[in-house]
Structure 1
Amino acid sequence: MSQPRVKWMATCASWTWGLGDEGVASVLEELEQPSNKRELMDFLEGNTKTFLRSGLDPGKSVKLEVACGEDLLVGETSANPLESLDATLSGLLIPLIDNTMVEKEAWGQCNEEQKSEFTASIRKISTGLGHALKSMRGGIELRGIEKVDGLLGEKLLQYAAVANYISIVEENPDVTLEFESLVEVWSRQVEQYLENSLDYASANKIYGHEPGPKTEIDFWMRRMQKITAVTEQLKSKSCRAVFGTLHAVTRVGQDVAPKSRQVVFNTLRRWNRVEFLITEAFNEAQDNVKYLNTLEKFMEPLYTGTPDMISDSLPALLNAIKMVYTIARYYNTTERLTNLFTKMTNQMIINCKAYLLGDEHPDKLWETKPVVLIKKLRACLNLNEVYQEQYHFNRKKLLALPKGKQFDFSETQIFGRFDLFCRRVLKLVDMFSTVHQFESLAACRFDGMEQLVVSSRTIMEEFRNKRHDLLDFHNNRFDRDYVEFN
């Protein structure tokens, strides 16, 4: 272990496994023996440190007297390789792709549509991988499961039949009382989650002030994963031992049953209701995820397209929503569809702002050519018009089927924010149309025009110096100054 290269590798390994240099070096010395290959494989379970030779001929030996160099690549993989892949995608690959979007040379002959499709696919893979990892990590952790191992110890593996559970009741009445208390805790825990987790107001806080429609898919996916985590825990040997023991209480005679026998009956009756709620909640989440996933491809333009592209995609999206609303078993309530439409509206507003500004500060709007800006502003207005037209078109189609589900949603709640945004956009169209007119007049040479042009420029500069966020439609100070501007 005297070679600098080996010492350096041992130091790298110590960072991965949390061991001191001397400890790693001594372990590696022992594991170098041919007879210890199996032990080496066991030792490498979990986080892995990888050392790869690079740029060397197969026959060329490694310079052990050099600690590190260009001939050796070092990497680390976590115990769960999916976490490493997720970190690589979200932290390295996707940001790298985003940075090359403006570099035409990096994309070769790909057009804008192909670039958008590729980036959307990569993001979808990354999102799906993130969902999978969340599912593996679980959600609700049933409290007190570790007590079961402590109460039963090595006997836990022996109890796999009714007769064995009965022997627990007969020999350990105190254990039965502990198990009954555990199930009461689990019942309260699951009931509380199932009751509180459907609160949309609280759930939307997780996703920020203006959640988009994809958060609806994420919400039900998370709920399904957390419920799955509960059912997986209930399949464990510890949980099976708890319920097996309590059910055994109902089978033994009164002479050997604990004094709390009736309490156990009540606890199991309550748990049966909880199990029904778990099954129903899982079926609901699974069904909602299935139907919402069919909408995802129609929602993609809301995130990646321009307002004109979104306008073109709305007929298919609204028709798909209508179909889900009429045939879904659970996702067919006024509250849920209103919530979905509201999130779609949020995303359209976000998209319009990004279309007008990109990643620039709102002040940059003043530096955009008025003709170009007005065209973009009108595209945003058109999107709102098409959105409401398609909504009412599908509403009328459902009215023709009086026995079916109807689009009886609050239009104020769905379209209210977009209408407010468009009122601001109309004012901007009017304002920048005025700017364009005066710029055109400034290019002309008429007697008496100079004073008018100077006056108009002064008014515009005064308005601009007030530093309003032109797209913040909740800012009432802009509206007051706009009246003065006119």
Structure 2
Amino acid sequence: MADPSSASERGGQASNLHMVQENLKEKQAMYKEAREARKAQLTAAHRYMFGIMADRLALKAEVVEEFVLDSPSFAPFENFFAKGGRKTISFIYQETEVPGIECGRTFHGLTKGAKITRIFLASLSEIPLKGSCLFFVRTKTDVAITPKNVHEETCFLMLDITEGLLKGTSNLLSKVFTPAIYTTENWGALNQSKHGEKDKQDFKDTMTGYITFLDGIQMNIEGMVHLDPASDIDFSRLVSFEDRKAAAADLDMVHKLESILMTWYKQIEQVLIESDQIRKEADSSGPLTEIDHWKRMLAKFSSITEHINGLCCKAVINVLNINQSKALKMWKEIDARITECTNEAKDNVKFLCTLEKVCQLLYSGDPVTMAKNIQELTSVIGMIHNVSQYYNTSERITSLFKKVTNQMVAACRNYITDNGTSRVWDQDTQDIIRKIQVRYPCKNVSQHILECKEEGI
């Protein structure tokens, strides 16, 4: 005979399940309706932005639109488009969890917790950026953004940090902002200001300096050497002298520590071998290439020195020293080599950094400014040759002078060709003559150019 209570419980469970399903259906219908409402708000201005982002990400505009519609609120668009509204609106493109039912659509074939790469409206103060940030900027807010003026009132930018935030920021500044700044002619009140030209150049130099600063940090990070950690050793038991003395009497422990030390030895030896190899540089490389090289070397050797002076390495050395291990002989030799290499890199960076500021005009100035700077430049190089412990050889100083000369030639070429934007023979003859006579006031040069252009050479 069936148990009436059991049947009643099953009926109650079925009823509860039915209610849950009904509630879920109601929520899905509500979220879908909200999504349709968001879609109805879309204008040509929205779709203009979707098209730009789709083109940049190699996606279809419809795909971008569907992803953006997943956002539960369009308030960021309203704030950005409104008169007196926000100056930026940002989107993030990266891997993230599949949106829940609140987005108003279903992602078939994907389970809860699965991840997909998608674009979505987001605030960088709330979402950690790991992929790309795409953002639109408006320079003024005195008019509302409409489908008619969106292409005039907004500009699009993208920050890609898939290679790291420092690299991404440097790329954005050097490949987007810097070219735009250098091609800008309308500087507003600065064009009429007495010190306008100097202020503009100072701003450009500041921008260039900041990019160099970011690249330097990135270079230091990339140059660091990470020696293998000794994860199977409990270093908390090697703190006191008694602990280390006991470890030195344990042959198994000694063999482990010797193995760790030899692993570090081989890694350091490989770094030294690579640093001794002939540097591969372009024949036209400038003086900043020399500075960057030694900064990388300093970061590399300093990270190794930091490891050697760390508590773990010192504990290993102390135990093996008590044991009088033969492995220490090889270690002391390579320790001395690293110390010498670190001192050389420190000394070279110290002196070359005095040259760095003087060299900046070779990269950003014209031949006239550059010529005024030659005497100071040669004085600094002379000081480096006379005082530096490692740059006092003919080979080193000749190589440095060659790099300076390379950059002078490049600066003159950029001046003549308007930074590579126009060939000599495509420019007005008198303009070319004027540029050349800035440094070479010779009538024969001018006459030669005229004859060549007339003959089509």
Question: Does the Cα contact within 8 Å between 1:14 and 1:20 map onto a contact in 2?
Answer: no
Instruction: Quickly say closer, same or farther: Cα 1:103–1:134, change in 2 above 3 A.
Output: closer
Scaled by the length of structure 1, the TM-score of the pair is 0.57
Q: Which one of the candidate residues 172, 176, 181 is aligned to 2:254?
A: 176
Amino acid corresponding to residue 128 of structure 1 in structure 2? F
Shift of 1:138: 4.3
Distance apart, 1:213 and its partner CA = 0.5
Aligned residue in 1 for 2:450: 433
Cα deviation, 1:227-248, whole Å, max 9, x if unaligned, reads: 1121233345543443233223
Residue pair 1:46, 1:79 contacting (<8 A) in 2 also = no
- Provide the rounded CA distance (Å) in 1 between the counterparts of 2:436 and 2:159: 49
Match of 1:197, SS?
helix
Alpha-carbon distance in structure 1 between the residues aligned to 2:356 and 2:111:
50
Q: Identify the structure with bigger relative contact order (alpha carbons < 8 Å, sequence gap 6+).
A: 1
- State the shift of 1:218 in Å: 0.7
Question: Any gaps of 5 or more consecutive residues in structure 1?
Answer: 27-42, 55-74, 251-263, 383-424, 439-459, 464-486
Q: CA deviation at 1:345?
A: 0.8
Partner of 2:373: 313
Shift of 1:101: 2.8
Structure 1 partner of 2:359: 299
Residue 298 of structure 2 is aligned to residue 224 of structure 1: yes
Indicate how the Cα distance of structure 1 residues 315 and 160 shifts in structure 2: closer, same or farther if over 3 A, else same: same
Matched, 1:278 2:338: yes
Matches within 5 A, 1:341-360: 341-360=401-420
Paired residues of 1:213 and 1:340 also in contact (CA < 8 A) = yes
- Whether 1:287 aligns to 2:314 is no
Q: Helix, strand or coil for the counterpart of 1:141?
A: coil
- In structure 1, how many angstroms separate the alpha carbons of the residues matched to 2:316 and 2:72? 48
- Structure 1 residue 249: deviation in Å? 1.5
1:96 aligned to which of 170, 177, 190: 177
1:375 aligns with 2:392: no
Does structure 1 retain, via aligned residues, the 8 Å contact 2:131–2:161?
A: yes
Q: Which deviates more, 176-185 or 126-135? A: 176-185
Q: Does 1:328 align with 2:388?
A: yes
How many residue pairs end up in the alignment? 333
CA 1:239–1:427 in 2, change beyond 3 Å: closer, same or farther?
Answer: farther
Task: Call closer, same or farther: CA 1:346–1:272 in 2, change over 3 Å.
Answer: same
Q: Could you say which residue in structure 2 is the equivalent of 1:159?
A: 238
Q: Aligned letter for 1:115?
A: K
Question: Equivalent of 1:203, from 279, 285, 300?
Answer: 279
Equivalent position of 1:475 in the other structure: none
- Quick one: structure 1 residues 286 and 108, their matched pair in 2 at CA, closer, same or farther if it must change by over 3 Å? farther
Q: Does 1:123 align with 2:208?
A: yes
Separation in 2 of the partners of 1:76 and 1:21? 24
Residue in structure 1 matched with residue 267 of structure 2 by the alignment: 189
Going from structure 1 to structure 2, the CA distance change for 1:322 and 1:272 (only over 3 Å counts) comes to: same
Distance 1:48 1:100 in 2: 27
Shift of 1:13: 12
User: Alignment partner of 1:377: what SS?
Assistant: helix
Question: For each residue in 1:92-113, what CA deviation from the matched residue of structure 2 results, as whole angstroms up to 9, or x when unmatched?
Answer: 4762242133333235315333
Give the conservation status (yes or no) of the 8 Å contact 1:48–1:78. Answer: yes
Could you tell me whether the CA contact under 8 Å between 1:301 and 1:310 is conserved in 2?
A: yes
* Contact 2:159/2:172, CA 8 A, preserved across alignment: no
2:208 partner letter: R
Report if the CA contact (8 A) 1:139-1:225 is conserved: yes
Q: CA deviation at 1:194?
A: 3.1
Q: Which residue in 2 is equivalent to 1:253?
A: none
**Contact 1:221/1:289, CA 8 A, preserved across alignment:** yes
After superposition, residues 1-80 of structure 1 pair within 5 angstroms as 8=71, 18-21=96-99
Residue 319 of structure 2 corresponds to which residue in structure 1? 245
- Tell me, in whole angstroms, the C-alpha distance in 2 between the residues paired with 1:20 and 1:245: 53
CA drift of 1:376 comes to 2.6
- Map of 1:269 onto structure 2: 329
The structure-2 alpha-carbon separation of the partners of 1:87 and 1:24, relative to structure 1 and needing over 3 Å to count, comes to farther
Aligned counterparts of 2:353 and 2:415: Cα–Cα separation in 1: 26
- What is the Cα deviation at residue 88 of structure 1? 2.9
**Aligned residues of 1:86 and 1:126 also touching (Cα < 8 A):** no
**Secondary structure of the equivalent of 2:279?**
helix
In the alignment, which of 221, 225, 231 is matched to residue 149 of structure 1? 231
Aligned-CA RMSD value: 4.3
Deviation at 1:49, TM superposition (A): 11
SS at match of 2:231: helix
Identity across aligned pairs (percent)?
24
Q: Is the 8 A contact 2:238 2:244 kept in 1?
A: yes
- The superposition leaves residues 160-207 of structure 1 with CA deviations (integer Å, 9 ceiling, x where unpaired) of 123223333434x234224323323433432443354255xx4242xx
Structure-2 separation of matches of 1:303 and 1:185:
44
Distance 1:231 1:86, change over 3 A: same
CA 1:119–1:44 in structure 2 vs 1: closer, same or farther (change >3 Å)? closer
- CA-CA distance at 1:359 after TM superposition: 4.0
Q: Give CA deviations for 1:76-126 in whole Å, capped at 9, x if unaligned.
A: 99799xx53653343147622421333332353153333222112222122
Q: 1:249 to 1:46 in 2, by over 3 A?
A: farther
Match of 1:211, SS state, is: coil
1:365–1:185 Cα change, 3 Å:
same
In 2, the alpha carbon distance for the partners of 1:9 and 1:89 equals: 33
Evaluate the alpha carbon distance shift between residue 138 and residue 45 of structure 1 in structure 2; reply closer, same or farther with a 3 A threshold.
farther
Maintained 8 Å contact 1:191/1:274: yes
Distance 1:44 1:196 in 2: 41
Residue 213 of structure 1 is matched in structure 2 by 287
State the SS of the aligned residue for 1:372: helix
Alignment deviations for residues 310-337 of structure 1 (CA, whole Å, 9 cap, x no partner): 1111011111211222122222221211
Q: Are the counterparts in 1 of residues 223 and 297 from structure 2 also a CA contact under 8 Å?
A: no
* Deviations 1:259-311 (CA, angstroms, capped at 9, x unpaired): xxxxx32x212222222222222222112111111122221221111112211
Equivalent position of 1:58 in the other structure: none
